Amino acid sequence: MKKRFTEEQIVKILGEQKLGKQVKEIAREYEISTNTFFNWKKKYGDMTKQEIVKLRQFEEENERLKKLVANLSLDNMAQKEIIKKFCDPE
């Protein structure tokens, strides 16, 4: 079963390496792969809990804005087609 960790838990888990624990030991304790640990480390690095929360907010806002741009682009294309249909002589 796949376990989901919060950002706070990830920061705590990453912090254990700074305290001298081996990555294999940390991975075994939290039932994660060493790859997961290093992926988290690559993504979160030395971030604080507050910085990670801010990162998540930015990622969510970025996704929302991407969807908005896609919708506006589709609307724009549809409007251009309508204008072309009614304004171009055939």
Each residue's pLDDT tens digit, 6-64: 888 999 999 999 899 999 999 999 999 999 999 999 998 888 888 988 988 999 999 99
pLDDT of residue 57: 95
Closest listed residue to residue 11, CA positions, set 44, 33, 34, 55: 44
Ranges of each domain in the chain: 1-47, 48-90
Is the pLDDT at 1 greater than 60? The verdict is: no
pLDDT of residue 49: 84
Is the pLDDT at 2 greater than 80? The verdict is: no
More confident residue, 4 or 26: 26
| Distance (Å, whole) CA 59 – CA 35 | 22
Q: Which residue do the tokens 């940390």 mark?
A: 26
| Distance (Å, whole) CA 37 – CA 11 | 11
Give residues with Cβ within 8 angstroms of 30, minimum separation 6: 5, 13
- The structure tokens listed for 68 are 């908005």
